[in-house]
C-alpha cells in the first residue's frame, strides 16, 4: 500500500469559487482518501506535528486537467503552417501531407513526445480523435489496429491516461464522394467494417479505454450514423463528433439533407449525454436547443478555432442551455490548458463586446471534471475523497503569476508555470521537468522524421 500526504499551499476544491489555503490531501494507491482544509491556527492537533511527512506543494494545486480533443499528428505542423494565408480547407491539405510520413513506429515516437508535452502542461488525460488507421493507399497493416496500439503505448510512456476515440471516416463530402489520396488511410469501407475492426481491439493497460467517433457529417453517410452510435451505446463508451466547425459544412448538409448537421445527428440517434460535439462553432438557435435538450456536451478548442480562422462559437449561450462544456487543444498549435480556458471567456468578450461571462471556477470545471467525464473517466477531475489522485501544482512566483490572486491564475498562468504533476498518485512532473521523457529533444527528433526537416 502506497500512502502519500500532500500539503497544498492552496488547493482548488469542488464547488469552491476560489482556492482554499493550506489543504492536506492524503492518497492511498492512487486514490484520494482524505481532504482536510487546515485551520488558520495550524494543524488540527497542535501537540503533534501531523504534517512532518507531508510533501509540500507551493502554489495552487488543481485537479488533473483533461484534453478532450487531440489529433496527435497535427503537432508536426506547429510553426510550419501558421504564417500562411488561406482558411481551414487550405490548411487541411497541408495536414493531409503529414500523414504520408507516419507509420506505427514514427507515430509512436511523435505521440509519446506530444503526450509528454501535455503532461508538462498539467494534462493528466487525453481524448485522441484517431482516424489515421491504415497504411499507404488505405492498405491495412498486418495488425489492422497497429496505429491505435501505438497511441495507447505512447500514452503509457508519457504517463497519462488516454481515451482512444476510434473514428469512423468513410466519405470525403456530405454528398458521399469517395475518399482519395491521403484520405484513403482513414477509411474502412463502411461502418460495419469499421465496427468489426474496432471491436477486435482491446487497449493494453489500465491507463487506456476505448471510445468511438464520427468524424463529421461529411465523412459518415447519414444511413450509417446509427451503426457507429449503436456501437458506442452498446458498450457504454464515449462518442465524439466534429460538428459545425465550418459554415460550408452547414450549407452542404442543408443542401443534401435539408437539415443542419445537428438536426441530422439528432435524427439518427447520435446525440445524448455520452456524446460530445467538438467545436460547434456555427450552431443555429435550434441546434443549441437540440444539444441542450439531449444533454450533449460540447468541446471547445479556442486556440485551434482562432488559428484556422473558424470563428467564435456561442459558449455562454450553450452553457446556459445546459450543455456541458469541455476543452481541447485539437491541432496543438498550442498545448496550454490555461490558454484554452481563458480564451473561452476572452473570445466571448470579443463576440459580445462585454466582459464577465465565465467565473474562474467554471473555467476550471471545463478544463478538468467536464473533460474527464466526456472521456469516460468520471472518477477524475476533482480533489475529493474517492477520486483519482491527480494533482497539478501551478506556481505563484513566476514573472506571469507573481502577485496574482490564486483564483486569478486562469487569466495569468500558462503551461510553463506548472511545477508538479501527479497522475494516479505517481509523480510524473517535478520542478517543471518530465521525469521519464526528454520532451524537447523527443519532439524535435520526431518532428524531423515526420516533416523531413
Active-site residue set: 279, 330
The CA-atom distances, in angstroms, between 91 and each of 79, 87, 182 are 13, 6, 14
Phi and psi at 265, nearest 5°, equal: -65, -40
Q: Where are the beta strands (DSSP E) in 1-121?
A: 3-11, 20-28, 31-37, 55-63, 65-70
Please work out, in degrees rounded to the nearest 5, the angle formed at the alpha carbon of residue 441 by the alpha carbons of 435 and 443: 100
Residue found by looking up cell 446509427 in the block:
226
SS3 350: helix
Burial of residue 108 (CB within 10 Å: 0-12, 13-18, 19+) is buried
Sign for the CA dihedral angle at 441, 443, 444, 449 comes to positive
DSSP 8-state class, residue 25 = E
What span, in angstroms and rounded, lies between the C-alpha atoms of 414 and 409?
Answer: 8
Other beta carbons within 10 Å of 84: 9
Contacts of 265 (CB under 8 A, 6+ apart): 214, 217, 225, 241, 243, 271, 277
Amino acid at each position: 500500500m502506497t500512502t502519500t500526504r500532500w500539503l497544498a499551499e492552496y488547493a482548488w476544491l469542488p464547488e469552491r469559487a476560489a482556492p482554499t489555503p493550506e489543504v492536506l490531501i492524503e492518497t492511498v494507491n492512487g486514490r484520494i482518501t482524505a481532504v482536510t482544509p487546515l485551520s488558520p491556527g495550524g494543524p488540527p492537533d497542535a501537540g503533534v506535528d501531523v504534517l512532518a511527512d507531508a510533501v509540500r506543494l507551493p502554489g495552487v494545486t488543481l485537479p488533473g486537467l483533461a484534453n478532450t480533443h487531440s489529433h496527435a499528428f497535427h503537432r508536426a505542423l506547429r510553426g510550419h503552417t501558421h504564417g500562411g494565408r488561406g482558411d481551414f480547407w487550405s490548411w487541411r491539405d497541408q495536414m493531409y501531407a503529414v500523414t504520408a510520413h507516419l507509420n506505427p513506429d514514427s507515430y509512436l515516437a511523435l505521440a509519446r513526445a506530444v503526450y509528454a508535452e501535455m503532461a508538462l502542461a498539467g494534462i493528466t488525460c487525453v481524448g485522441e480523435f484517431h482516424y489515421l488507421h491504415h497504411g499507404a493507399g488505405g492498405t491495412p497493416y498486418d495488425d489492422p489496429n497497429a496505429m491505435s496500439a501505438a497511441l495507447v503505448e505512447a500514452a503509457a510512456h508519457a504517463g497519462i491516461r488516454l481515451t482512444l476515440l476510434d473514428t469512423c471516416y468513410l466519405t470525403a463530402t456530405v454528398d458521399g464522394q469517395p475518399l482519395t489520396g491521403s484520405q484513403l488511410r482513414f477509411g474502412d469501407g463502411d461502418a460495419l467494417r469499421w465496427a468489426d475492426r474496432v471491436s477486435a481491439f482491446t487497449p493494453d493497460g489500465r491507463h487506456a479505454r476505448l471510445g468511438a467517433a464520427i468524424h463529421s457529417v461529411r465523412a459518415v453517410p447519414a444511413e450509417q450514423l446509427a451503426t457507429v452510435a449503436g456501437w458506442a451505446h452498446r458498450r457504454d463508451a464515449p462518442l465524439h463528433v466534429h460538428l459545425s466547425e465550418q459554415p460550408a459544412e452547414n450549407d452542404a448538409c442543408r443542401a443534401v439533407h435539408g437539415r443542419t448537421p445537428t438536426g441530422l445527428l439528432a435524427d439518427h440517434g447520435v446525440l445524448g449525454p455520452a456524446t460530445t460535439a467538438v467545436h460547434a462553432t456555427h450552431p443555429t438557435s435550434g441546434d443549441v436547443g437540440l444539444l441542450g435538450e439531449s444533454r450533449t456536451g460540447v468541446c471547445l478548442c479556442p486556440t485551434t478555432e482562432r488559428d484556422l480562422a473558424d470563428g467564435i462559437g456561442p459558449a455562454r449561450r450553450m452553457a446556459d442551455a445546459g450543455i456541458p462544456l469541455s476543452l481541447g487543444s485539437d491541432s496543438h498549435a498550442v498545448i496550454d490548458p490555461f490558454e484554452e480556458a481563458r480564451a473561452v471567456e476572452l473570445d466571448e468578450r470579443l463576440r459580445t463586446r462585454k466582459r464577465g461571462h465565465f467565473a474562474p471556477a467554471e473555467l476550471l470545471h471545463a478544463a478538468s471534471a467536464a473533460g474527464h467525464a466526456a472521456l469516460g473517466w468520471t472518477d477524475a477531475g476533482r480533489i475529493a475523497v474517492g477520486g483519482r489522485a491527480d494533482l497539478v501544482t501551478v506556481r505563484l512566483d513566476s514573472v506571469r503569476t507573481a502577485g496574482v490572486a490564486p483564483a486569478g491564475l486562469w487569466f495569468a498562468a500558462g503551461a510553463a508555470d506548472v511545477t508538479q504533476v501527479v497522475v494516479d498518485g505517481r509523480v510524473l512532473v517535478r520542478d517543471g521537468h518530465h521525469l521519464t521523457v526528454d520532451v524537447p529533444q523527443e519532439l524535435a527528433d520526431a518532428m524531423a522524421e515526420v516533416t523531413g526537416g
